Amino acid sequence: MSSTQAFIDEAAKIYKVLSNSTRLNILYYLRHYDGEADVKTIVNDLHLAQPIVSKQLGILYRYQLVSRHKEGTRVYYALDDPHVIEMIDDMLKHVKHEIKGEPHPRNLYK
């Protein structure tokens, strides 16, 4: 398998991870949260069950979409990769264009 194909296959795995609305909701939340958020805060603010949040954060962590550290019994999560932040922001910009029916920016390659 070529290195290009390996990159494409890995990107497809990450997009599959991002196809879950709960995971996107958590990423969006972390994108706009000031600093690191512990699981309890995420659970309370998003009104989701703790096991669901913990499972989804584990998946996001496994694919390096969030970072985490532990203090005592609490685990704190954050977005610390600018690529992930740009990816979330760009996707939301795309969705806003679609919802509003606005044209997308001109093709950059012309």
Domain extents in the chain: 1-79
Please give the CATH number for the structural domain made up of 1-79.
1.10.10.10
pLDDT digits (tens, 9 = 90+) for 56-92: 999 999 999 999 999 999 999 999 888 888 988 888 8
pLDDT digits (tens, 9 = 90+) for 24-52: 999 999 999 999 999 999 999 999 999 99
Question: What would the DSSP string read from start to end of the chain?
Answer: --HHHHHHHHHHHHHHHTT-HHHHHHHHHHHHSSS-EEHHHHHHHHT--HHHHHHHHHHHHHTTSSEEEEETTEEEEE---HHHHHHHHHHHHHHHHHHHTPPPPPPTT-
**pTM of the model as a whole:** 0.84
Across the range 3-22, mean pLDDT stands at: 91
pLDDT band (50, 70, 90) for residue 110 = low
pLDDT band (50, 70, 90) for residue 103 = confident
pLDDT at 107: 67
Of the listed ranges 20-24, 36-40, 103-107, the least confidently predicted one is 103-107
